[in-house]
Structure 1
Amino acid sequence: MSKQLDLYDVTIIGGGPAGMYAAFYSGMRDLKTKLIEAKEELGGRMLIYPEKMIWDVGGVTPILCEKLIAQLVEQAKTFDPTIVLGEQMVGLEKQEDGTYILEAASGKRHWTRTIILALGRGILKMAKLEIEGAERYEVTNLHYTVQELEPFRGKRVLVSGGGNSAVDWANELESIAASVTVVHRRDSFGGHERNVQRMKESSVDVRTPFAVTQLHSTNKETIETVTIRHVESGDTERLDVDAVIVNHGLKADFSGINEWGLNMDEWNVFVNARLVSNLPGIFAAGDFAQYDSKITLIAGAFTDAALAVNSAKLYMDPSADRMAYVSSHNERFKEKNRALGVMDKED
């Protein structure tokens, strides 16, 4: 069966920042590369917050997330990797020669020498609000993500949750909404300290430890008021709202990849300092990879990607250089520099 397939040096599973940068860097290492993403577009978890400003990527001034995604996609395509969208990997077969065949849920198969798992948090599913009848409001004013800020302008917005996204949304909406109330069942927040402090110092009404317990509507179409309950005392209060945003975390679906024999927990695969997993020829990068000095930043995902690609190259050719030459001296960029009208001094 494998002889009917095209053999790739590296197959990257996951199209978030780690996967996209791995595709670019794999081209720098002159490897035949395939990138497979379960969704119909690249971007990974970044697609959840397209209007969020990204500040912490080295050398990049504050940039809208959707613009950063577009630039990462363009960079990923630099060396013309094969990009496959809408393919969810489920099966893995190791061949006698040490190569792998990956099987998608659709039945399609992919043949590769090495694999880089850049799965992020898997296929993410939002944890729903566990209140009877809540689903009827999902078509009107109950939201599980914020794609655009403008629809909330002048509205009374309640945000339920205490993680990074909930805090970020509260901060972004504070300047355009009529009011923003954050309801969280714990006194402490899981968001970045600086962002939590910014929220608490703003006009955002922070209610802790409270939980949303009831949604009320006279027209049965939109939420008009919400009952919140103090987690410790049991006291309740009703709040008038125009929109409710819920961020109660995410559930991961790894489509059976967690049954391949990888050393992993619920969210991560454990790798060494060079992003090598316990299975030969399989590496990891980005949020999916876990090791002692892990940095969960987009910038950290780029470093992970380069390390994983370098490890894959050395796995296939132990005599290869440990890393790619920097772009200013890398032969693969000569023609591309000429196309940009940039000539090397030696030319």
Structure 2
Amino acid sequence: MQHIYDVTIIGGGPAGLYSAFYSGLRGLKTKLIDSQQQLGGKVLLYPEKLIWDIGGHPPVLGEQFVKQLIAQAKTFDPTILTGTKVDFIERQDDIFVLHTAQGDKHYSKTVLLAVGGGIINPQKLSLEGAEKYEMTNLHYTVQSYRHFVDKEIIISGGGNAALDWAVELNPIAKNVTVVYRKDKLSAHEATIQEALNAGVNIECHTTISKLTANADKTAIQLVTCENSKTKQSYTRQIDEVIVSHGYNREASLELDQAITVPKKDDYYFEGKATGETEQPGIFAAGDILSFEGKIHLLLGTFQDAANAVNSIKTYLEPTAYRHGVVSSHNEVFKEKNRSIIEKQLK
């Protein structure tokens, strides 16, 4: 028997997770599918970064923010599938059929695209054998600052992420050196100045050319760097290597030729602030959606999600209210509100 959902959300980042919450709020039978094993999207790349730009919310660590998003998304018990990549979407009469890389099919009355910038994978260090150190001291993201206390660290990369990590780790590490292959760093001017003010050692024209293992061959012990301008090289003992060379973006799905959704820059879907696209039944929210006046911040993501779900609701039920009832007056929260208030009064 085919289970047909009112809406299937593709993407488990902030846009997808908030969409799952809001579609439940609006009484829609909801499924969320994400290609990654963990929900959270790009926020997972920066678990210990503080997020400040969410209205009415005190600064929160990325890791905690993801936990809160997931808990909120599960409020109305949507079906959630992780580690499942949607490859292709086709339309059969009034139903969309979502084909996955695993060979499964999912059926839905509408589809909400919330795939952000696509499936992102870090650009790896292009040295033979480097991958064997990824389980020890070669890192493509910083999961925990505590791991780097009193360590000799080298960071390869000249973008915002590389310098942000350098600034954060510099006070707790023994030493932090940033090496970058070009003559000028690619990070924002303010970020560069912050790194310089923090005393981070920055070496341009410099790349990591060799990794030398420790005695038992399990971790990197020595790093050799070369300066393309002076043609000189040096080797130093190191505890941790962080590589921040950006990310490869993999387009997460294809649409049947009969489904026409205009794109911007050959990737992002063009639509409206209401989350609607040119294709009836296909909606979008978050970074994947392009429209005039777009706000590329988390706070904009939540508005995108609410607008898209409201559009889905009226698409499926033309007589429904265009907007959801505010939470303070919404009947679906009546029992939940009472329970929360009673706990706070105890």
TM-score for the superposition, normalised by structure 1 = 0.87
Q: Secondary structure at the match of 1:157?
A: strand
* Superposition deviation, residue 205 in structure 1: 0.9
Any idea what the Cα deviations from partners look like across 1:76-102, whole Å, max 9, x if unmatched? 112222222222111222021x22111
* Superposition deviation, residue 285 in structure 1: 1.4
Cα distance in structure 1, aligned partners of 2:109 and 2:303: 22
Q: Secondary structure at the match of 1:333?
A: helix
Give 2:241's aligned amino acid: V
Which residue is 1:144 aligned to? 140
Q: Does 1:161 align with 2:157?
A: yes
Bigger Cα displacement from structure 2, 108-117 vs 286-295: 286-295
8 Å contact kept, 1:14–1:36: yes
Which residue is 2:7 aligned to? 10
Which residue is 2:248 aligned to? 251
Q: Does 1:105 align with 2:104?
A: no
Change (3 A) 1:193 1:67: farther
Which residue is 2:91 aligned to? 94
Q: Does 1:45 align with 2:58?
A: no
Cα distance in structure 1, aligned partners of 2:151 and 2:133: 16
* Superposition deviation, residue 235 in structure 1: 4.6
Which residue is 2:19 aligned to? 22
Bigger Cα displacement from structure 2, 17-26 vs 118-127: 118-127
* Superposition deviation, residue 240 in structure 1: 3.6
Q: Secondary structure at the match of 1:12?
A: strand
Q: Secondary structure at the match of 2:341?
A: coil
Contiguous gaps of at least 5 residues in structure 2: none
Contiguous gaps of at least 5 residues in structure 1: 343-347
* Superposition deviation, residue 179 in structure 1: 0.8
Cα distance in structure 2, aligned partners of 1:199 and 1:63: 22
Which residue is 1:263 aligned to? 262
Any idea what the Cα deviations from partners look like across 1:231-281, whole Å, max 9, x if unmatched? 555454444422111011111223443676543346532323323233321
Taking every aligned residue pair, what percent have the same amino acid on both sides?
46
Bigger Cα displacement from structure 2, 151-160 vs 264-273: 264-273
Give 2:297's aligned amino acid: L
Cα distance in structure 1, aligned partners of 2:236 and 2:96: 56
Q: What do you get for the CA RMSD once the two structures are aligned?
A: 2.4
Q: Does 1:281 align with 2:281?
A: yes
Q: Does 1:64 align with 2:61?
A: yes
Cα distance in structure 1, aligned partners of 2:115 and 2:223: 36
Which residue is 1:133 aligned to? 129
Bigger Cα displacement from structure 2, 120-129 vs 284-293: 284-293
Give 1:28's aligned amino acid: L
Give 2:86's aligned amino acid: M
Give 1:101's aligned amino acid: V
Cα distance in structure 2, aligned partners of 1:138 and 1:278: 44
Cα distance in structure 2, aligned partners of 1:259 and 1:183: 45
8 Å contact kept, 1:252–1:267: no
* Superposition deviation, residue 192 in structure 1: 5.4
Give 2:61's aligned amino acid: L
Q: Does 1:295 align with 2:298?
A: no
Bigger Cα displacement from structure 2, 109-118 vs 210-219: 210-219
Cα distance in structure 1, aligned partners of 2:165 and 2:192: 11
Q: Secondary structure at the match of 2:329?
A: coil
Cα distance in structure 2, aligned partners of 1:109 and 1:211: 46
8 Å contact kept, 2:89–2:97: yes
Cα distance in structure 2, aligned partners of 1:338 and 1:151: 42
Change (3 A) 1:61 1:16: same
Aligned residue pairs: how many? 338
Cα distance in structure 1, aligned partners of 2:40 and 2:239: 30
Which residue is 1:345 aligned to? none
Any idea what the Cα deviations from partners look like across 1:141-171, whole Å, max 9, x if unmatched? 2211221222211111111113332222212
